[in-house]
Chains A and B, each alone.
Chain A
Amino acid sequence: DGGITQSPKYLFRKEGQNVTLSCEQNLNHDAMYWYRQDPGQGLRLIYYSQIVNDFQKGDIAEGYSVSREKKESFPLTVTSAQKNPTAFYLCASSSNPGLQPGHTFGSGTRLTVV
């Protein structure tokens, strides 16, 4: 079955440490996204990529970095510059927005700073 796989499901980060969240899709979607969800908050856009080898900052990109070397993969690195990284991170993908604007989401990664 096609879908998006995020790993790990839970991740613990020490202060000053960089961590990378994995996101892989086999839906043949061009666009991929990273959103952050905090309790009682709406999803906020971190980075997005409409095509391979291109990505753009979203609303809260500071302290994060991404790459898009393959169509299927869009990993997110949470750097030590992100001061409040504890949150639920969601990866999503979509095909041509004009044809199919809905997002398909992964099951999320819960990141906790220890």
Chain B
Amino acid sequence: SQKIEQNSEALNIQEGKTATLTCNYTNYSPAYLQWYRQDPGRGPVFLLLIRENEKEKRKERLKVTFDTTLKQSLFHITASQPADSATYLCALDRFLDSGYALNFGKGTSLLVTP
């Protein structure tokens, strides 16, 4: 079955450093890979999408890489700030009989300390 794995342990880093989160998947050939941010008690917020034919995508302090050979995506936050503390979810597209949805990983909690 299709499986998405993200680091279950929380990632603690110091302000100003680069945070790197990992998303691995198996039994899957996604056309897209997406990253979302979720704050406690809130819905996820879409951050970035990368397509299977793209190696890297950037948006301000965020960078996503996508290696379809390794079946892995890395999500980087450079010059991290305490406000970046949240849970980050990886999601892959799934095409259903009558439409389209997403499969989500369990998320990795990031804590940035001053």
Contact = CB atoms under 8 A, between A and B. Distances in A.
Interface of A: 4, 6, 31, 33, 35, 40-43, 45, 48-50, 54, 56, 58, 88, 90, 92, 94, 97, 101-108, 110
B4 interface: yes
B89 to A, nearest CB: 8
B51 to A, nearest CB: 9
Contact of B43 (A40, A54, A101, A106): A106
A42 B98 contact: no
Interface residues of B, number: 27
23 contacts: A4-B43, A31-B99, A33-B101, A35-B104, A40-B8, A42-B105, A43-B44, A43-B89, A48-B99, A49-B99, A50-B99, A54-B98, A56-B99, A90-B43, A97-B99, A101-B32, A102-B49, A103-B36, A103-B44, A104-B46, A105-B45, A108-B41, A110-B41
A107 B43 contact: yes
Contact of B96 (A48, A105, A107): A48
Given A101-B34, A101-B49, A50 B104 contact: no
A58 B94 CA distance: 11
Query: Most chain-B Cβ atoms within 10 A of its Cβ — which of A4, A48, A92, A103?
Result: A103
Contacts of A58: 101
